[in-house]
Amino acid sequence: MSISIKPNTTGLIFAMREEQEGLQNFISNKKIHHIAKREFIQGEFCGHPIVMVLAGIGKVAAASTTNLLIHHFGVTQLILSGVAGAADPSLKVGDIVIANALLQHDMNASPLFPRFEIPLTGKSRFLVDQNLQKALQNATSQFIQTMPTHFSASQIEEFQLQTVKTRTGLIASGDQFIHDSHVLSELKQALPDLLAVEMEGAAIAQVCNEQNLPFAILRTISDGADETADVDFLSFVKNVAAPYSLEILKNYFENRKIQID
Ligand code: SAH
């Protein structure tokens, strides 16, 4: 099937199947395209053109997917929604981090270039589009205010979601599931403002920077990036992170509709 490019299309990237499943049911006028071993779902979400895709895990998967979204679907902005490990003591499981900058924590070409700097770009941090970041912050605050309508009292109790908060700041990505407090504290020493660690965001950031495309990264804290990081990871993603994503993205697109109308 040939792809017809819709103006103002948002690319929605997920890393794990469990994260994208909830959203799938809310897409109307669906068209499915298979490219480069991925399934792209083109359609409308809350009246807005979107393309949704499961990127897979890690920086290469994320970068490759970002390029496919740009070149095959002509997306004009990109949002990644997923989970991350906390790198700041103020954050606990269930909190939400919105990136204002992304860095690749496993990039190290020293002594040729400073640690973390992407060689030949002069950059270690890629900045997030301010408008998109603010719009996601609003959508997230709205969601937090209505939490009890989305989760039962027993879910709130089970996943300890009584006092969920949101923070904005630095997220670092690398091809590593961090589950070791020593690794985390070494990173935190090098990057004192680091809020969370994950495996895709900074790759998307680099590609979007090359293409001058607005992007934003939204992450629910799923673990403490320490020795307990793999405990009930999938249950958390399915029961907490996926509904978070759905509701926050709904708020985001509903608000955008008001701005456009
Ligand atoms: N057990 C899972 C592993 C997924 S990898 C599985 O088998 O499917 C972890 C995913 O969540 C990645 O997409 C990454 O972006 C994010 N993530 C969550 N916590 C992380 C951590 N502590 N370190 C790195 N990535 C993390």
Of 19, 117, 198, 200, which residue is the catalytic one?
19
User: Which residue in 167, 19, 27, 190 sits closest to 103, CA to CA?
Assistant: 190
Question: Is residue 86 within 6 Å of ligand 1 at its C-beta?
Answer: no
Checking if the pLDDT of 261 tops 50, the result is no
- The rounded percent of the chain whose pLDDT value lies above 70 is 98
**Ligand 1 contact, 18 CB (< 6 A):** no
**82-260: CATH superfamily:** Nucleoside phosphorylase domain (3.40.50.1580)
| Identity of the amino acid at 5 | I
Q: What is the pLDDT of residues 148-188, one digit of tens each?
A: 999 999 999 999 999 999 999 999 999 999 999 999 999 99
**Given ligand 1 and candidates 13, 14, 16, which is best to mutate, with the most ligand atoms within 8 Å of its CB?**
16
Protein residue with its CA nearest to atom 25 in ligand 1: 198
Active site residue 223: yes
The model's pTM = 0.96
CB 210 within 8 A of CB 202: no
Q: Which of 16, 180, 200 is nearest to 105 (CA)?
A: 200
CA gap 222, 229 in Å, rounded? 8
pLDDT tens-digit series, residues 16-36: 898 888 899 999 999 999 999
- Output the average pLDDT for the chain: 95
Return the domain boundaries, the chain.
82-260
pLDDT in tens, 60-77: 999 999 999 999 999 999
